[in-house]
Chain A
Amino acid sequence: MTEPLIYELSRPGRCAATLPDLDVPRAELPEGLVREDLPLPEVSEPDVVRHYTHLSQMNYGVDVGFYPLGSCTMKYNPKINEEMARLPGFVHLHPYQDEETAQGALCLMYHLQEFLKEIGGFAGISLQPAAGAHGELTGVLMMRAYHLDRGDAGRDVILVPDSAHGTNPATTSMSGLRVIEIPSDERGNVDRGALEAACQEHSGHLVGMMLTNPNTLGLFDEHLEEVTALVHQYGGLMYGDGANMNALLGIARPGDLGFDVLHYNLHKTFSTPHGGGGPGSGPVGASTRLADFLPGPVVAIDRGRSSDEGDFYTFVDLPRSIGRVKSFYGHFGILVRAYTYIRMLGAAGLRRVSEYAVLNANYLMSQIKGTYHVPYERICMHEFVCEGRFADAPDVRALDVAKRLIDYGYHPPTNYFPLIVHEALMIEPTETESKETLDGFAEALLRIADEAHTAPALLHEAPHRAPVRRLDEVRAAKDLILRWQPKQQ
């Protein structure tokens, strides 16, 4: 099944848009500055509609089926969120309008800040960062600025566990800092011996540590408070990668566990849609000593302009801010969705989210662990990692298992991550999936394990039932065709 490119549907003279006639006199066009040609497609509205309908039919989303993509929290995205984000009073609001005309939007942002402070145990929040990695950059720059502000200029080292997302070391480099990798111990925790040695070796240079907890193995570090205490003892700060907050809502607050700064992923934990790769939203929470470094503006109550009729909300910049990290105030449309979700659930509902996310992950692990090796076998949090390989079927790889799952109607788990597990399959079911869905998925995995021994070609050549067969990624990188171009005559 293929769909022509929109350019291949183009016929001269077609246009899908209607526009009003010009109702003012024409002005002279600027000499030498007008383009000669605009090579965009020429299609009708039905062409556009059928084209994108066909494309959507070649896509798999949470609305289509089970999507256990580890570390991405592909939970159900409630429809009410979408409706609320489209309310005219939000959609048509210009970011530079007078604050007086935007009190509804500002009130929502203020309360979302308060909710996120409470959920994470932080003193301050900035809603500005646009995604998780953007929140990381924000947090690491804040840690750097904190040390500089104290006149402590020699610090340039960030500790990152070997199980970390690639964004952690990449963020560190972008911030002009050095990465020191810390190995994991045999139970999947941060190796305390190695951590202590690194702290000593880089004593006086330590900016802090970036830690995902639960980590990318889906495990809560059994010595978390020793880790945070050690880093603090050497003058470092603790950055929390909140990618895995779906395990902790109402279960534990990172701020109470020693984290100084953390980003949330509203598109993971708080049910805002992933959009085929964004837009996400990555608000950053900070402890008292880091809150003044948050990017602004943030929303505050202006007591002077508040009255009995209500509070007046206003934007303020923070005194020692690292500066803004994007234009305007953040992904407001995403903030509306997250606010809606928190209001629907309340404190008890949020705790249930994490309880059932963890229950689902442990249940699914229990159903497959006899067949798929789980290298760090403990009670997991919201996800777990197993190996997609079999001692007696050496040709079969995690990639083959993943592609074969497509034939069974599932989105594959994350594979080849974390890097410390061979042939990793990282599975995150989320709380919104039923027992029957998990049972069906486990059964598919067990049948695939069978096929790996009896009919390995089925796996190597999978998927068989997708819109396209396995794609040649090497060729894409070699030929490098990044746009459509008309055929040379």
Chain B
Amino acid sequence: MPYIPHSDGDRKTMLAAIGVRSVEELFEDIPAHARFPELNLPPALSEMEVRWELEMLAGADFTTADGPCFLGAGAYHHFVPAVVDAFLRRGEFYTAYTPYQPEISQGTLQAIFEYQTMICALTGMEASNASHYDGATATAEAVITAINVHRLKRRKVVVSPFVHPEYRAVVRTYTQGMGLTVVGDENSEWARGTDRPGRLMRLTELLDRDTACLIVQYPDFLGRIEDLGSLAEAAHAVGALLVVVADPIALGLLKPPGQFGADVVVGDGQGMGAGLNFGGPYLGFFATRMEHVRRMAGRLVGQTVDAEGQRGFVLTLSTREQHIRREKATSNICTNQGLVALAAAIYMATLGRCGMRRVAELCYHKAHYARQRIGAINGFSVVEDADDGRTPVRYIRPFFKEFIVRCPRPVKEVNDYLLNEWEIIGGYDLGRDYAHLQGHMLLCVTEMNPREEIDMLVEALEEVAS
């Protein structure tokens, strides 16, 4: 019997010790009509047969390992050093649970403490929790934190249309019972109106004394970066928090949101050691200032000493959490992303001060090279129109590793051509989310794209255009 060690003799001895005659007798509290249903499942397989079946399924996929990938939009093809998985495979880490017993969980606890320290360093913040499920749920939890900071008195949330569309959707799902209004991204008028230099300043017109927080993304969903200082000032002028959704890989190069005055920095740490994995498990990170630490959700590791005065680590401020506070908790979160946070910690330690900067610069320069080359192809355009119907000006704005390309044919056709003729995984179709960006794709270039791949993409797109 797979994974069950009992012999027949064991079973008999144990039943006798319990004082029942059969295993079935243990289940008499269950209504007889529903007891022991016949489950219609495929027959059990041996380990080798399972392996064959799964290998066949995995083999049916065409992945980023099979061809150049220029797809991003919130899930990124970054390199994972071998040391990361070497430790994710250690049973002492992955078969443990939440470190409720600190004396035999110092490995997990110290690793999280170090993770918290490195997330603070990256974001420019003072306190990080142990993780959330992903960037989207971390963003939703940031909204709840902001509401709690204002002691439930403010009911409005302003969100930029250039925050990841799925993150905005999750914010709405999470808050649907809370009686909040989420504004800023609700129609394409705003999207158009805000889509030009200083565009996010238009969002600030929505800020008022009922606003709990303003949420922006950095780089934004379209890859663009800008100074967030004036947004922070505008939010703070009405007493609202500035929540910044950030790409941690970009923070290897870019000024941290904390320096602009962000109050909460969240994001997805997937790029730091988690791999693509068809969308998960990823890593929601959450960092804030010490003044808000009692309003934040999630596990938190703190330093202390043991009975002999040695340094040690424990879960702390658990009076915020569901197992103590029940209906008054800051969140219901319990299990989070422990092992993925460990991966991110090992990634950050391995890359370190110089490596994180180098990865970010490789992404930046390669993306700029790709954009410049694609912009030179007849029929493709990488300059953005100020698409408000009046202003004939076009802009090139600073960006990090993703950029918009206007295609001469529908994005689906372009991507099909890239895949079928060149085995290239193309970009994200922005028409899915933005009415004014029909026919535009979002391309992503990372350290995983050597120059030859970029040149190949350019050649392929030239064919598309001709």
The reply to whether the CB of A61 lies closer than 8 angstroms to some CB of chain B is yes
Is the CB–CB distance between B6 and A22 below 8 Å? no
Beta-carbon nearest neighbor of A95 in chain B? B279
Given known contacts A252-B34, A432-B4, what 17 new A-B pairs fall within 8 Å (CB)? A16-B83, A33-B227, A58-B105, A63-B91, A130-B281, A174-B174, A251-B36, A276-B93, A276-B97, A277-B335, A323-B173, A323-B176, A358-B26, A414-B100, A471-B102, A472-B306, A482-B116
Taken together as a complex, chains A and B put the C-alpha atoms of A352 and B1 apart, in Å, by 8
Which residues in window 70-125 of A have CB below 8 A to B?
72, 74-78, 80, 82-84, 86-98, 101-105, 107-108, 115, 118-119, 121
How many Å lie between the Cα of A340 and that of B333 in the bound state?
A: 27
Interface pair B275/A87, CB less than 8 Å apart = no
Please list 28 pairs of residues, one from A and one from B, whose beta carbons are closer than 8 Å in the complex, sorted by A's number: A10-B352, A15-B353, A19-B355, A24-B368, A34-B254, A55-B108, A60-B104, A74-B95, A78-B3, A90-B61, A93-B277, A94-B276, A94-B278, A104-B56, A105-B61, A166-B325, A250-B36, A251-B27, A257-B31, A276-B98, A324-B166, A326-B170, A328-B282, A343-B42, A379-B28, A431-B4, A471-B306, A483-B127
Which chain B residues lie closer than 8 Å to A23 at the CB level? Answer: 450-451
Say yes or no for B379: interface residue by CB 8 A criterion: no
Set of chain A residues within 8 Å of B164, measured between Cβ atoms: 327
Is A56 a contact partner of B104 (Cβ separation < 8 A)? no
Q: Residue A196 at the B interface, CB < 8 A? A: no
Report B363-381 CB contacts with A as 1/0, cut-off 8 Å.
0111011000000000000
User: A69 with B54: in contact, given A32-B227, A49-B83, A105-B278 (CB under 8 Å)?
Assistant: no
A41 near B349 (CB under 8 angstroms)? yes
- A181–B42 Cα distance when bound, in Å, is 41
Q: Does B409 sit at the interface, judged by CB under 8 A?
A: no
Contact with A along B167-198 (1 / 0, CB 8 A): 10110111011110000000000000000000
* Bound form: Cα–Cα A176–B327 in Å: 11
Q: Does B463 contact A (CB under 8 A)?
A: no
Residues of B within 8 A of A165 (CB): 322-323, 334
User: What per-residue 1/0 map shows which CB atoms of B17-44 lie under 8 Å from chain A?
Assistant: 1111001011111110011111111111
Pair A24/B63 contact, Cβ less than 8 Å: no
Which B residues touch A89, using CB under 8 A?
A: 57-61, 63
A330 → chain B closest CB, angstroms: 6
* Cα distance A84–B254 in the bound complex, in angstroms: 37
A131 touches B327 (CB 8 A): no
Question: B331 interface residue, CB < 8 Å from A?
Answer: yes
Q: Are B29 and A130 in contact (CB under 8 A)?
A: no
B356 contacts A40, CB within 8 Å?
Answer: yes
Query: B108, B303, B351, B353 — which one has the most chain A CB atoms within 10 A of its CB?
Result: B353
A48-B83, A340-B54 known; A367+B17 contact, CB < 8 A: yes
A475 to B176 CA separation, bound complex (whole angstroms) = 38
Q: Are A119 and B39 in contact (CB under 8 A)?
A: yes
Q: Is A204 an interface residue (CB 8 A)?
A: no
- The answer to whether A232 has its CB under 8 Å from any CB of chain B is no
Which of chain A's residues 182-231 have a Cβ closer than 8 Å to chain B?
A: 219-222, 224-225
How far is A134 from B408 in the complex, measured between Cα atoms in Å? 43
Size of the A side of the interface (Cβ < 8 Å), in residues, is 199
Q: How far is B293's CA from A476's CA once the two chains are assembled, in angstroms?
A: 14
Contacts of A38 in B (CB 8 A): 121-122, 252, 353, 356-357
Whether the pair A276, B173 counts as a contact (CB closer than 8 A) is: no
Judged by a CB distance under 8 angstroms, whether B209 is at the interface is no
- Tell me if B128 and A482 are in contact (CB < 8 A): yes
| A331 touching B36 in the complex, CB below 8 Å, given contacts A379-B26, A471-B305 | no
Report if A275-B94 is in contact (Cβ < 8 Å); known contacts: A87-B55, A118-B40, A349-B44. yes
Among residues 372 to 399 in chain B, which have CB atoms less than 8 Å away from a CB atom of chain A? Answer: 398
Indicate if the CB atoms of B97 and A167 lie closer than 8 Å: no
The 8 A CB mask of A257-297 against B (1 = contact, 0 = none) is 10000000001000101111111100000000000000100
Q: Among the interface residues B20, B92, B305, B358, which one has the most CB atoms of the partner chain A within 10 A?
A: B92
B439 interface residue per 8 A CB criterion: no
* Given A322-B173, A324-B173, A471-B312, CB of A92 within 8 Å of CB of B276: yes
A20 near B227 (CB under 8 angstroms)? Answer: no
Given contacts A16-B349, A166-B326, A473-B314, contact A468 B177 (CB under 8 A): no
Asked if B457 is at the interface of the complex by the 8 Å CB criterion, the answer is no
The chain B residue sitting closest to A60, CB to CB, is: B104
B94 touches A470 (CB 8 A): no
Pairwise interchain contact A480-B317, C-beta atoms closer than 8 A: yes
Please, how many angstroms separate the alpha-carbon atoms of A96 and B173 in the complex?
Answer: 21
Please report which residues of chain B, range 286-300, place their CB below 8 angstroms from some CB of chain A when the two chains form the complex: 290, 293, 299-300
**Which residues in window 4-61 of A have CB below 8 A to B?**
5-7, 10, 13-17, 19-20, 22-27, 29-30, 32-35, 38-43, 45, 48-49, 51-53, 55-61
* Least distance between A19 CB and chain B CB atoms (Å): 5
Give the chain A neighbours of B211 by CB distance below 8 A.
none
Query: A279 contacts which of B25, B75, B102, B280 (Cβ < 8 Å)?
Result: B280
Are A93 and B306 interface neighbours, CB within 8 A?
A: no
> Chain B's nearest CB lies how many Å from the CB of A322?
6
The 5 A-B residue pairs with the shortest CB-CB distance, nearest first, are A328-B279, A63-B91, A176-B177, A89-B58, A346-B44
CB-CB < 8 A to B199: which residues of A? none
Q: Contacting B47 at CB < 8 Å: which of A225, A251, A344?
A: A344
Number of interface residues of B (CB under 8 A): 207
Looking at the complex, which one of A77, A118, A277 makes contact with B98 (CB distance below 8 Å)?
Answer: A277
A37 CB to nearest chain B CB (Å)? 8
Asked if B15 lies at the interface with its beta carbon under 8 angstroms from chain A, I say yes
Q: Are A279 and B352 in contact (CB under 8 A)?
A: no
Q: Is A306 an interface residue (CB 8 A)?
A: no
Q: Which residues in window 235-284 of B have CB below 8 A to A?
A: 251-256, 259, 268, 275-282
Residue B350 interfacial (CB < 8 Å): yes
Q: Taking the nearest CB of chain A, how far is it from the CB of B130, in angstroms? A: 7
Q: Are A75 and B121 in contact (CB under 8 A)?
A: no
Q: CB within 8 Å of A: which of B437-466?
A: 447, 450-451, 454
Q: Is the CB of A88 within 8 A of B58?
A: yes
Provide the bound-state CA to CA distance between A94 and B134, in Å: 16
B415 in the interface (beta carbon within 8 A): yes
Contact B327 A42 (CB under 8 A): no
Please state if B92 and A56 are interface contacts (CB–CB under 8 Å): yes
- Judge whether A179 and B327 touch: CB under 8 Å: yes
| Known contacts A22-B361, A74-B97, A134-B133; is-contact A93 B300 (Cβ 8 Å) | no
Complex Cα–Cα for A136 and B334 (A): 11
Choice from A25, A130, A467, A475 contacting B304 with Cβ under 8 Å: A475
User: Contacts of A179 on B, CB cut-off 8 Å?
Assistant: 326-327
B133 nearest CB neighbor, chain A only: A130
Q: Which residues of A contact B232 (CB under 8 A)?
A: none
Check A133/B332 contact, CB under 8 A, given A57-B107, A251-B27, A326-B136. Answer: yes
Please determine whether B97 and A274 come into contact, CB atoms closer than 8 angstroms.
Answer: yes
* B329 with A224: CB separation less than 8 A: no
A residues near B339, Cβ cutoff 8 Å: 273, 275-279
| Interchain nearest-CB distance for B146 vs A (Å) | 15
CB atoms of B350 and A59 under 8 A apart: no
Asked if B230 is at the interface of the complex by the 8 Å CB criterion, the answer is: no
**Chain A residues positioned under 8 Å from B134 (CB to CB):** 130, 326-328
Q: How many Å lie between the Cα of A298 and that of B444 in the bound state?
A: 27
Residues on the B chain within 8 Å of A467, using CB: 103-104, 106
Contacting pair B225 A33 (CB below 8 A): yes
On chain A, the residues within 8 Å of B27 by CB distance are: 220, 251-252, 358
| CB contact between A433 and one of B5, B42, B332 (< 8 Å): that residue | B5
Q: A33-B225, A102-B278, A322-B173 are in contact. Are A15 and B352 (CB under 8 A)?
A: yes
